[in-house]
């Protein structure tokens, strides 16, 4: 039986066997509660602190600045709600119009209790404009939150410039780096972010564990209450096995980042070069060069409404890809809010096919995919020749 091809790493990643090996002792034999003072508890506590240092090292942070959460989503919630609640007034939060639902839904929640929300526009590549942020900062702002990289189109934001501009105005800056951490360099000693969210399962670690980087001196109010774990910011008995797995995944990602990014970018370019020849009506979503190494989001002129059928045909052929965000799969067939915000019309905003590569993909996976995709596209309703769109050509994609 031919092995399936998994090209949906922006949704989740397979657990690295090295991470599983690190976790195994803490799934059964080492079961102590890290808050207990006896030997079993001390062993668990030591493992948690080792993992905290490993996650911190991935970001160039101090271990004391890492707060473990149950997910990247919870880390985002803690960053936003925790910042706003730490002030006596409702506050003003500035974010981009193409954030992950973990940010946008939290903003909607905060708006109901009086927080002012400003949504920054993006250009056709999905990039936030520095001038739009500067205009927003002319008013009283509590927090700016802009994602490091888009889960939908893969565009990498100019986080360093955005954060520097925000800090010049004395405002806190948060970035949702769930898609970016472990894939591109992120060093908080150089990038003046105050808060940064990440998640283990996006970098070949386990599901159900995330973290929030909180720069020293930044005050947050907790959103989960109880025994006061994680410096009082995230009460609950720690998920020791998950935390250990997160630490191992972070350490591996840090060590292998440059090599892995180069390899995935090469695979991405191989796909682009082939599609340019076999599917000339294919076009690119997102910035041609400022994108995650293994991320490629494409559409097909005149066949945008067929993307659902295309996904099914690829799945039947043994290929796992997605249409936009996995978190929005229940809105299948609807125009992508991210693409609409980027200026695409409702037709093209329905047609995104997201191909995201990962650590265990091989050149054989890529070659087989390049045989399967044209066949699957050819089985769809043919694209009318008169349909013309202004879109970024695939040959504009440059190596990361």
Can you tell me the distance from the alpha carbon of 20 to that of 2, in angstroms, rounded to the nearest whole number?
A: 25
Written as six digits, the tokens of 244 are 């250990």
Question: CB 355: neighbour CB atoms within 10 A?
Answer: 25
- Contact residues for 291 (Cβ-Cβ < 8 A; gap 6+): 149, 153, 154, 155, 156, 397, 400
- β-partners of residue 213 are 66, 196
Catalytic site includes residue 327:
yes
Report yes or no: 255 and 59 within 8 Å, Cβ to Cβ. Answer: no
Written as six digits, the tokens of 99 are 């954030």
Of the candidates 63, 223, 327, 392, the residue annotated as catalytic is 327
Alpha-carbon dihedral sign for residues 399, 72, 323, 355: positive
SS3 per residue for the chain: CCCCEECECCCCCCCCHHHHHHHHHHCCCCCCCCCCCCHHHHHHHHHHHHHHHHHHHHHCCCHHHEEEECCHHHHHHHHHHHHHHCCCCCCEEEEECCCCHHHHHHHHHHHHCCCEEEEECECCCCCECHHHHHHHCCCCCCEEECCCECCCCCEECCHHHHHHHHHHCCCEEEEECCCCECCECCCCCCCCCCEEEEEHHHCCCCCCCEEEEECCCCCCCCCCCCCCCHHHCCCCCCCHHHHHHHHHHHHHHHHHHHHHHHHHHHHHHHHHHHHHHHCCCEEEECCCCCECCCEEEEEECCCHHHHHHHHHHHHHCCEECECCCHHHHHHCCCCCHHHHHCCCCCCHHHCCEEEECCCCCCHHHHHHHHHHHHHHHHCCCCCCCCCCCCCEEHHHCCCC
Catalytic residues: 327
């Amino acid at each position: 039986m031919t092995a399936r091809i998994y090209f949906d790493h922006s949704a989740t990643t397979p657990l690295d066997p090295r991470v599983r090996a690190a976790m195994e002792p803490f799934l059964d034999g080492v079961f102590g509660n890290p808050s207990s003072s006896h030997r079993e508890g001390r062993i668990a506590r030591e493992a948690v602190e080792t993992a905290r240092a490993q996650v911190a090292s991935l970001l160039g942070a101090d271990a004391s600045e890492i707060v473990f959460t149950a997910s990247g989503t919870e880390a985002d919630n803690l960053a936003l709600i925790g910042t706003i609640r730490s002030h006596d007034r409702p506050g003003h939060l500035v974010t981009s119009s193409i954030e992950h639902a973990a940010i946008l839904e939290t903003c909607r929640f905060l708006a109901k209790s009086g927080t002012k929300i400003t949504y920054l526009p993006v250009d056709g590549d999905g990039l936030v404009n520095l001038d739009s942020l500067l205009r927003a900062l002319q008013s009283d702002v509590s927090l700016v939150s802009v994602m490091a990289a888009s889960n939908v189109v893969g565009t990498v934001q100019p986080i360093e410039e955005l954060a520097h501009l925000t800090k010049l105005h004395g405002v806190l800056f948060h970035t949702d780096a769930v898609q970016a951490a472990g894939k591109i360099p992120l060093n908080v000693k150089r990038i003046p972010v105050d808060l940064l969210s990440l998640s283990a399962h996006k970098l070949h670690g386990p599901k159900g564990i995330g973290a929030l980087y909180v720069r020293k001196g930044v005050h947050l109010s907790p959103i989960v209450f109880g025994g006061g774990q994680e410096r009082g910011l995230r009460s609950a008995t720690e998920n020791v096995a998950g935390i250990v797995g997160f630490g191992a995944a972070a350490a591996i990602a840090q060590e292998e980042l440059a090599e892995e990014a180069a390899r995935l970018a090469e695979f991405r370019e191989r796909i682009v070069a082939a599609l340019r020849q076999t599917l000339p009506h294919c076009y690119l979503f997102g910035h041609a060069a400022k994108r995650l190494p293994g991320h490629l989001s494409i559409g097909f002129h005149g066949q945008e409404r067929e993307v659902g059928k295309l996904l099914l045909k690829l799945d039947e052929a043994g290929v796992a890809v997605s249409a936009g965000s996995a978190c929005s799969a229940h809105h299948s067939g609807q125009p992508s809010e991210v693409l609409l915000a980027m200026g695409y019309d409702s037709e093209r905003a329905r047609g995104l096919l997201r191909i995201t590569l990962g650590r265990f993909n091989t050149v054989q996976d890529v070659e087989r995919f390049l045989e399967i995709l044209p066949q699957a596209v050819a089985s769809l309703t043919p694209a009318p020749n008169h349909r013309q769109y202004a879109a970024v050509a695939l040959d504009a994609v440059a190596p990361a």
